[in-house]
Structure 1
Amino acid sequence: MKTYIIDNHPLFMDSLAQLVSLFQQDNTIYKYIQTLDAIEALDKTSLPSLIFINISMPKLDGLGFLKVLQKRQILTPVIMLSDNDDIKTMKKALAFDIAGFIPKTHSHAQIQHALNQIFNGNTYIPETVELRLSRIKDLTTGRIQMDSSINALGVTRRQREVLKLAAQGHANKSIALMMNISEHTVKSHLAAMFQLLHAKSRAECVQRAYQTGLIAPPDNNSI
């Protein structure tokens, strides 16, 4: 496993790297103090399995980095780190379907809890952040509601990502390449979704996922 940590505060980055290594012993951690250096590494080497980035990075911030990943169709899960509580910035980051949001003001124990959630395939958003977001009238509430329904069914973030790509017509091998995971892992995620949704076929699984709101149907089906 390969993990990127992008942060312009070396002490915090080193501390986070130590915590991350506790969850994955075979994890190779690459640390970058410049966002552009991390992007250059993405171009030259195999994709990481996980990326942590400080949302307030200079020159190219976390939101700009997410746009780069989106443009290049890189599906590596991203966890945002933040040393401020700007709710508008949080909203924008969550719109990219990030894998988690960890305030740098979190205690050591809180960060460990967040990492435990993330490495188990769940999305981590602090309750305080969810409460603040819920108070904003113009907030797109679909994501928070979606995460609640997913957690209620026991569906992980990675399972949902696999199902979304399957619904778009991608074969298992293609999904594996896009998500930087093995084809066996793709099959395992789909098998779990079949069981959770009581589906007997790929098409039935996708249809039930639409009906339960786990994934959004394509635009042409919503007209």
Structure 2
Amino acid sequence: MHILVVDDHQLFLDGIRHILERLEADTKVREANSVEAALDALEDAGELDLALIDLCMPGMDGLALLQSMNSRRIRLPVVVVSGEEDLGKIKAALDLGALGFIPKSYSSQQMQEALAQVLEGDIYLPPHVEQQIDRLSTRRPPDAATHNMALKESGITRRQYDVLKLMAQGFSNKQIANTLFLTEHTVKSHVSALFVLLAANNRTICVQNAMHKGLLEP
């Protein structure tokens, strides 16, 4: 597994390297201490499996990096690992495609568990951050708040819901994997979990049951 870490503090780079190398025996870590250096490293994005980026860096920040990746159509899973806990910036990063947010204040064990969850194909947010983002639903139309409640009651995770939406659009497992930066194996696991949660034995019934529960638009 090849991971790019983008951070302007060498002490953090040294520490996160040790954590990442414990995830898998063959993990290789590349470092970039600026957005400009990261963009150079991303020229070989095909060799990378994951990028961890800080939000606050001199010059171009983490959000600018995400925007540049989108404009350059660089398809790579990205997680924000930052001491910055500004809710607006975290939400902006998620809206730009980040698969989660991990605080730098986490212990090495918490960091490993969060990264393992991301590598399994889920989106990771600390509980307190997720709750704060959910509170923003009070600013959304009532229908959106009702939908969020139905989703929570169903037991479907954020990532499973992403898979469900694409399944409803007729995407194959391979297409879903390419769109969500997942392996086909991970997508199959999410589809199987959706079948159980929605009491279905095929994709059509799964989507129909999701619509009946108000999780998808008819």
Contact 2:121 2:182 in 1 (8 A): no
Q: CA deviation at 1:43?
A: 3.4
Find the counterpart in structure 2 of residue 33 from structure 1. 33
| Alignment of 1:13 onto 2:9 | no
2:190 aligns to what? 189
Q: CA offset at residue 212 of structure 1?
A: 4.4
User: For residues 68 and 48 of structure 1, do their structure 2 counterparts lie closer, same or farther at Cα, with a shift above 3 Å needed?
Assistant: same
RMSD: 3.6
Range that drifts further, 119-128 or 129-138: 129-138
The residue correspondences of 1:1-223 to structure 2 (distance < 5 A) are 1-46=1-46, 48-72=48-72, 74=74, 76-96=76-96, 98-133=98-133, 146=148, 149=151, 153=155, 155=157, 157=159, 159-212=160-213, 217=217
* SS state at 1:5 partner: strand
Counterpart AA for 2:49: S
Q: CA deviation at 1:53?
A: 0.5
Q: 1:174 to 1:40 in 2, by over 3 A?
A: farther
In percent, how many aligned pairs have the same letter? 35
Tell me the SS of whatever aligns to 2:39: helix
Deviation at 1:151, TM superposition (A): 8.9
Judged with a 3 Å threshold, the aligned counterparts in structure 2 of structure 1 residues 30 and 160 are, in CA distance, closer, same or farther, namely: farther
| TM-score normalised by length of structure 1 | 0.73
**Judging changes above 3 Å, is the alpha-carbon distance between structure 1 residues 212 and 70 closer, same or farther for their aligned structure 2 residues?**
farther
Mark the runs of 5 or more structure 2 residues left unpaired by the alignment: none
**TM-score with structure 2 length normalisation?**
0.74
Structure 2 SS opposite 1:102: strand
With over 3 angstroms needed to count, the CA separation of the structure-2 counterparts of 1:203 and 1:101, relative to structure 1, is same
Q: Which runs of 5+ in 1 are unaligned?
A: none
1:89-121 deviations in Å (ceiling 9; x for gaps): 223223345322122233444434433443444
SS at match of 2:36: helix
CA contact 1:47–1:76 (8 Å) conserved in 2:
no
Distance 1:165 1:73 in 2: 20
